[in-house]
Structure 1
Amino acid sequence: MLGEVFALFPSAYVHIGGDEVERTAWEHCPKCTERVRRNGLGGAENLQAWFTREMEKYCRENSKVVVGWDEIASDGLSEESVVMWWRNWSPSSLKTALEEGHPVVMSPSEYYYLADDQDNNTLAKVYEYEPGSEVSLPYSGKVIGIQGNLWSEKAATVERVGERMFPRLLAIAESAWTQPEKKDFDGFVSRLPLHLRKLDEAGWSYRFPDVGGVYDRNVITGETTVTLEVPENAVLHYTLDGTVPELSSPVYEAPLVIKDSCELRLRCYNSRGVPGELRKVVFLRRDYLPAIQSEPVLSDGLLARWYDFAGSSCEDIDKAPLNDSFVCRNICIPDNVSGNIGLVFDGYIHLPSDGVYAFYTYSDDGSGLWIDGELVVDNDGLHSREEKTGSIALRKGLHKFSLRYFDSNGGILEAGMTDDEGRHIPFSEEMLKH
């Protein structure tokens, strides 16, 4: 088969894969056992490395250079074989590839896998990631490039391919040819409209920024006027009856008046009538939640509990074995916490005045934020970095606060408040008590 590939593609390089191999069946396979014995491999776990070396030998005999995912880094290949580092949660595989002398292409899935879901933070995350920061100075010359990947099972049409690729691919390209000290995300964003117009002219779809002016969960205490921020070059269609907005649905042209609880659905369409992502926004009409009347004597920070949690839902975290408990003065993953992570932060939040307060979590994987027992931010489930927002009406004073988070193999957790412009505001140490 490889011989046919060589004949079809004249490139000096051939990618042989080598990732995510399930080896369990080899231990019970008579032919595998015989292969291990005949080649003195010591065990079925060494079969893949042997096979990869055989593949490399065949490729070199045909004047081809092997490229493979970072699982091949420790397979004993020649130094000329190229390793693509994709497992950003496994820095040891990158270290091994460099120490073994392999040229490396940086392709970390967290930043350069274009099939993954997006939110308003994704473009900045991709642009601001600096692949060279993962490599120590003696090995910097071994990094020969970067690569973005799009797996088509999450992009079944040309339109969906465009939404997944653009404008993230432009951010990856600029990272490839720009020195780190010259990267400027604001400058990139200012140049972006020109590129998007070119994509429009070429018939490509691309992801619009999120519609601004609303949170995922919005609490109102009475009739409210909602002014939405529509992305440039987009036509925003909406519904208030739970149906998916279509081209025949109302076009947003003026602020909306929301009088009661409802679900607002939003969808941007491009100039060719191709729909973008569907966004669901909830409005809940509620009274202000009262503050705790008799305030207890409290200390700064939140009580944090770390569980050995390997599940997929925030509500199950405290069913796992408890590893440790401690006090945290802010919301983060503490330095001493690793492996299977389930964190529960409990305590109180002190608010300076009556108001409708907005909160956010930005996490990989799941998180949730509760005020006075009410779920305000629902960012639960297994997912890459994602931001969710929510608001709640609260009286001045002390309110019960709880935040839950889980992940395995390393992740990210941020949480705080947002202002009317959607800007993040960190919790101050004076606000959080236990």
Structure 2
Amino acid sequence: MRNYLTILFLAVLMASCSQPSNPSFKAEDISLVPKPTSFQLNESSFKFGPDTKIVASDQSQQKAINYLKGLFSKAAGYNLEEISAKTEGAVVFEVIEGLKNGAYKLNVTPNSITVSATEESGFFNAVQTIRQLLPIEIESANVVAANWLVPSVTIEDEPRFSWRGMHNDFSRHFIDIDEVKAFLDYMALYKLNTYHMHLTDDQGWRIEIKKYPLLTEKGAWRIPNNQDTICMERAQENKLYTIDEAKFKEIDGERKYGGFFTQEQIKEIVAYASDRCITVIPEIDMPGHFKSAIDNYPFLSCTGESGWDTVFTYPTCLGKETTYEFMKNILSEIVELFPAQYIHIGGDEVNIKSWEKCPLCQKAIKDNSLKDEHELQSHFNRDIEQFLHSKGKKLMGWDEIVQGGLTKDAAVMWWRGWRPEAPKKAVENGNELVITPTDAYYFDYLNDGNPLEKIYNYEPVPESFTAEEEKRVMGIQANLWSEWIPSFKRLQYQAFPRMLAVAENAWASKNNKDFEAFNKRVEKQYPRLDNLGVYYYIPVVKGLDKKIGMVDSTKVKLSLAYPLEGVEIYYTIDGSVPTKKSLKYTEPFVVNDTVEIKARAYKGDIYNDIKKTKVEKKEYIQSVDVSPKEKGLKRYLIPGKLKKVTDVNLKSASKWEVVDSVDIAEFKDKKPVNMVFSGYFHAEKDGIYQFETRSDGGDHLYIGQTLVVDNSGWHGPRKRYGIVALKAGWHSITIKYRPSDKPRAINAWYGLQGEPLQPITSEVTGF
């Protein structure tokens, strides 16, 4: 009997060994973006197979279920069966009450997956979390072999904001419907739920309006402009700037660029987005940025002519009833195509000069008891808003619409980071607000200047907002203006990985953020993006940001902006475009001649923008035989409004005083006064020195008689630099500053080449 029990025990043990449990995962194996509100990793995992069932109980679950089935159909070849009765080994969808929109609960065990939510977007977001927990092969467009395991987890998750948006500009450069669909899938993966389509602007009309066929027959096509030609020039070194030849066609004997969506295609996009719980917001710019319409319907302008003023185009005439009729006829077709609550009318950067001269506009101002042209635009906005209300819609516009008055029903997108009063004014007025400022959320800005860390650490809600005002913040949005984005690959490069930072900022609590931890999760997302065919940004090459000077020779050191596995640097010293066949950077290299260095990083087939600089041979400037008795510089004040920096002359100086540093001090934002800083600079040792200035208006920095920094011209605060070879000792230094009409800055720095810059202060100056 004892032997029988022993044999039975061994048989059971062997049977259990032959059917091992599903493996467990480590926390470092998992990357979820955005970060869930609450996450617990448990033992073991759930395995999908061809017989895995999906248990549905409500129509609100259908979009999520369809998406999950679609993933497995493409990548695994599984046709997951949908049933209504609960069973073992299934994915169970269940409705629970009380969760906010978008929120969900997810419980994964070795025996089942339970997805709980209150409404359809919650179920859909849960599926995107399952998608990110699955192997990256789930993103494959064709059937592949994989072990379809999902770690055992317990997640409770909800979004911070209801508006989690991305924007595409179709007017400057156009992307096709299949590319739009791909972008919507990227958005879905990271739980972004609002897609803003900028469909019309001066450079092109991109949506069919049946009542006005010329808008797309002619307004959707243009002779290549400066934006096109600049992209074509850049494409010689960077193929990401290549404009697809399919975007050109012969019209009236001329080669023109363009494209547009038919109304049927718009319906297809809206439906595709809806299946992913994404709302599509159309933007039809008015009354400015309307040149592509005025070109073909010239009665819309004040003068019957279309064109550009100094910066912006001439707007539509707001003194003509035909303008209002035209806009409403367009919007009548738009509202039928887009189920979204909001219709965006732009309203930004309107050139009001033509209204100032137009007798019809001036009559409209007088007849409606308006104060000025800004109130005329608000009068127009309110009229359009009432029309949209009659169609069951609400008006949305850029933050300029706040000026001149705004009804409480309108919503505002704050984009002008330099106008911090605009969002405060909007929420004080009771308007809903979307945060989308240039400071962080303009993704047409290069990654170098608007990097991932800056975006992630940006807190969108201004500190000045009260708790009640914060409730009016619907959310955030990143914008991809397409002046310099002529291809879908370039669009991907500008969007990723920064889009992930927006996704997390829009979802996670501001108290639940850690950039280092986030960046580690982002790095684990790259293989998934590779499977999706996303062409993302990789770190740029550092070390060629400025000119390099040498006397006899110099050592050039390159590095990456940040470390990323699999990224390598290739460079050339003959001015040619670096490829993976060029010199591979492994250590600093010596240059002993005047050359042009170009470098770029590669990660597989992905490459980034070229960084380049010239190596210039310099002759030493000898020090002067002086021993300054006082520390600091003399600052001379020169009254009068001067045209050029070269007009700043010490002979006109009214007085001078000793200053410790180069700055505008008490003259900031006051009546403009020209300045000269003069004295001696001490070079600690022989070497190449870099000098840098930052000013508005303009400045020159001289060492002796040599102009080292030329920061002249009319401009806002900006930096310029120069290099010079100095012998150790004292050197005469002069900085001339011609301010703008509103003086804001004059600063100066120095440093040995390759070392951090230091401010020019009394520590290194004297007279």
TM-score higher than 0.5 here? yes
Counterpart AA for 1:40: S
CA distance in 1, matches of 2:363, 2:504: 51
Could you tell me which residue of structure 1 aligns to residue 616 of structure 2? Answer: 284
CA distance in 2, matches of 1:337, 1:102: 34
Task: Specify the SS of the correspondent of 1:36.
Answer: helix
* Deviations, residues 252-271 of structure 1 (Å, cap 9, x unaligned): 34543201222212233442
Could you tell me which residue of structure 2 aligns to residue 224 of structure 1? Answer: 554
CA distance in 1, matches of 2:412, 2:673: 33
CA distance in 1, matches of 2:571, 2:743: 38
* Deviations, residues 28-87 of structure 1 (Å, cap 9, x unaligned): 334434433443335555321111001111222222222111111134332232111222
Q: Does residue 145 of structure 1 match 2:475?
A: yes
Q: 1:261 and 1:427, CA in 2 relative to 1: closer, same or farther beyond 3 A?
A: same
CA distance in 2, matches of 1:122, 1:341: 35
Q: Quick check: 1:215–1:389 contact (8 Å CA) kept in 2?
A: no
Counterpart AA for 2:498: R
Task: Specify the SS of the correspondent of 1:46.
Answer: helix
Could you tell me which residue of structure 1 aligns to residue 597 of structure 2? Answer: 264
* Deviations, residues 379-416 of structure 1 (Å, cap 9, x unaligned): 77789998766654333332334556877889777753
Q: Quick check: 1:53–1:76 contact (8 Å CA) kept in 2?
A: no
% of aligned pairs identical? 32
Structure 1 position 247, deviation (Å): 5.4
* Deviations, residues 172-220 of structure 1 (Å, cap 9, x unaligned): 4444445556554445445443344443443223333332344512222
Q: Quick check: 1:53–1:75 contact (8 Å CA) kept in 2?
A: no
Q: 1:411 and 1:337, CA in 2 relative to 1: closer, same or farther beyond 3 A?
A: closer
**Aligned mate of 2:412, from 83, 86, 89:** 83
**Aligned mate of 1:168, from 493, 498, 503:** 498
**Aligned mate of 2:576, from 221, 239, 243:** 243
Task: Specify the SS of the correspondent of 1:131.
Answer: coil
Task: Specify the SS of the correspondent of 2:380.
Answer: helix
Structure 1 position 20, deviation (Å): 1.0
Task: Specify the SS of the correspondent of 1:68.
Answer: strand
Structure 1 position 115, deviation (Å): 1.6
Could you tell me which residue of structure 1 aligns to residue 421 of structure 2? Answer: 92
Could you tell me which residue of structure 1 aligns to residue 430 of structure 2? Answer: 101
Q: 1:421 and 1:305, CA in 2 relative to 1: closer, same or farther beyond 3 A?
A: same
CA distance in 1, matches of 2:655, 2:353: 34
**Aligned mate of 2:351, from 7, 22, 42:** 22
Counterpart AA for 1:346: F
* Deviations, residues 275-303 of structure 1 (Å, cap 9, x unaligned): 42222212123344322211344342563
* Deviations, residues 101-142 of structure 1 (Å, cap 9, x unaligned): 222222222332222345367444444443334534363333
Could you tell me which residue of structure 1 aligns to residue 17 of structure 2? Answer: none
Task: Specify the SS of the correspondent of 2:749.
Answer: strand
Q: 1:413 and 1:114, CA in 2 relative to 1: closer, same or farther beyond 3 A?
A: farther
Could you tell me which residue of structure 1 aligns to residue 199 of structure 2? Answer: none
Greater RCO, CA 8 A, separation 6+? 1
CA distance in 2, matches of 1:362, 1:190: 36
Task: Specify the SS of the correspondent of 1:90.
Answer: coil
CA distance in 2, matches of 1:135, 1:310: 40
Task: Specify the SS of the correspondent of 1:282.
Answer: strand
Could you tell me which residue of structure 2 aligns to residue 337 of structure 1? Answer: 668
Question: Please, which runs of 5 or more residues in structure 1 have no aligned partner?
Answer: none
Q: 1:391 and 1:65, CA in 2 relative to 1: closer, same or farther beyond 3 A?
A: same
List aligned pairs for 1:4-403, cutoff 5 A: 4-41=333-370, 43-119=372-448, 122-133=451-462, 135-137=464-466, 139-178=469-508, 180=510, 183-230=513-560, 232=564, 233-246=566-579, 249-272=582-605, 275-301=607-633, 303=635, 315=645, 318=648, 329-331=660-662, 334=665, 336-338=667-669, 346-347=677-678, 348-360=680-692, 370-374=702-706, 391-402=723-734
Q: Quick check: 2:669–2:744 contact (8 Å CA) kept in 1?
A: no
Moved more, 130-139 or 289-298: 130-139
Count of matched residue pairs = 430
Structure 1 position 152, deviation (Å): 0.7
CA distance in 2, matches of 1:70, 1:240: 48
CA distance in 2, matches of 1:49, 1:420: 54
Q: 1:248 and 1:322, CA in 2 relative to 1: closer, same or farther beyond 3 A?
A: farther
CA distance in 2, matches of 1:400, 1:425: 18
RMSD: 4.2
Q: 1:323 and 1:304, CA in 2 relative to 1: closer, same or farther beyond 3 A?
A: closer
CA distance in 1, matches of 2:581, 2:715: 33
* Deviations, residues 350-372 of structure 1 (Å, cap 9, x unaligned): 23333444455678898775544
Could you tell me which residue of structure 1 aligns to residue 78 of structure 2? Answer: none
CA distance in 2, matches of 1:168, 1:425: 31
CA distance in 1, matches of 2:526, 2:746: 32
CA distance in 2, matches of 1:306, 1:186: 50
Q: 1:341 and 1:191, CA in 2 relative to 1: closer, same or farther beyond 3 A?
A: farther
Moved more, 260-269 or 174-183: 174-183
Moved more, 365-374 or 194-203: 365-374
Structure 1 position 171, deviation (Å): 3.5
CA distance in 1, matches of 2:741, 2:489: 33
Q: Quick check: 1:86–1:109 contact (8 Å CA) kept in 2?
A: yes
CA distance in 2, matches of 1:322, 1:142: 54
Structure 1 position 11, deviation (Å): 1.2
Task: Specify the SS of the correspondent of 1:261.
Answer: coil
* Structure possessing the higher radius of gyration over alpha carbons: 2
Counterpart AA for 1:256: F
CA distance in 2, matches of 1:201, 1:339: 57
Q: Quick check: 2:645–2:700 contact (8 Å CA) kept in 1?
A: no
Moved more, 69-78 or 167-176: 167-176
CA distance in 2, matches of 1:116, 1:156: 14
Counterpart AA for 1:28: K
Moved more, 382-391 or 44-53: 382-391
CA distance in 2, matches of 1:383, 1:181: 39
Structure 1 position 315, deviation (Å): 4.9
CA distance in 2, matches of 1:60, 1:42: 25
CA distance in 1, matches of 2:495, 2:692: 26
Counterpart AA for 2:618: R
